[in-house]
Every structure is written in C-alpha cells, then in structure tokens.
Amino acid sequence: MAIHPYLMFGGNCREAFNRYEEIFGGELVLLTMDDMPAGADAHPHQGDLIMHAALTFGDNLLMASDDASGDFESVRGMAVNYSCSDVAEAQRIFDGLAEGGTVTMAMEPTFWSPSFGMCVDRFGTPWMINAQPADAGDGSAEGGG
C-alpha cells in the first residue's frame, strides 16, 4: 500500500506537470477534459483543462488535475515531501522547484538531514526537500519540519 499526493490546480496543471517532468524526469501522462468519453460531464470551455495528470519517476507517483469547479483555492496546511539519498541531487531538485517561487527555508543541514529545505513553487505547491543521511539505508527515515 502507498500514499500518493494528488494535487489540485486552478488551470495551470499542464504547465506545472511539464515543469515537474523537467525536474524529476520520468513518464508523464496528461488527460484533458476533451479526452473524457462522449456524454461525460465536461463543459466545452474546459476542454484544455487537465482531468488527470500522472508523473511516475522511480518508485514515485505524483498525480493532479485542474479544479474545474471554478472554486479553486491554493494549497494550505500541507507540503509534498521528496527525499533522496544525494545532497547534490536534493539541491538540484530544490533549486528547480524554487525557481520563480518562494523559498521558505533554504537548503541547509539539520539534525535529521545533511540537507533540508522548503519552498512554495511558482504554481503554489509547497515542497519539503530532504537528503537522507547516509545511514538511513532503507529510505524509511523521513524528515520534516
């Protein structure tokens, strides 16, 4: 069993997930409202909105869609945590996500990690990037503020 974040966007899901694919690599699948079967509950003016996005990279799956309700509110009270074993890779990921966004905690050593940082990307998604200590071994050590 696994938990996979499912993000919501206010019309910029395609742009966000194209950027995430640039940063994380992997395989991206985007389905638009126009891809829904005939008779499905999609409005014509929403055809380019993303009905479902899935980015698979390594053992990770990040999913999302655009909020077609028109009542989209930015993310609050959570962050997507990404952990990797290499400090340089953690910094690269952090820099990519922070570009055009807001750094809330610069990447720096903490008592649980050789490098940890937080940012909100330019799409409004809060991130925590964590380099695992060398002795974490199985990847079970998850740091977080």
Predicted pLDDT of residue 140? 44
pLDDT of residue 38: 61
Separation CA 33–CA 49 (nearest Å):
6
The domain defined by 6-66 folds into 2,3-Dihydroxybiphenyl 1,2-Dioxygenase; domain 1 (3.10.180)
Distance CA 106, CA 119 (A): 8
What pTM was computed for the model? Answer: 0.85
| pLDDT given at position 100 | 98
**What is residue 141's predicted lDDT score, i.e. its pLDDT?**
45
- 101 secondary structure, DSSP code: S
Residues of the chain with pLDDT under 50: 138-145
**CATH tag for 80-136 (out of 3.40.50.2300, 3.40.50.200, 3.30.720.110, 3.30.420.10):** 3.30.720.110
The pLDDT value recorded for residue 123 is 95
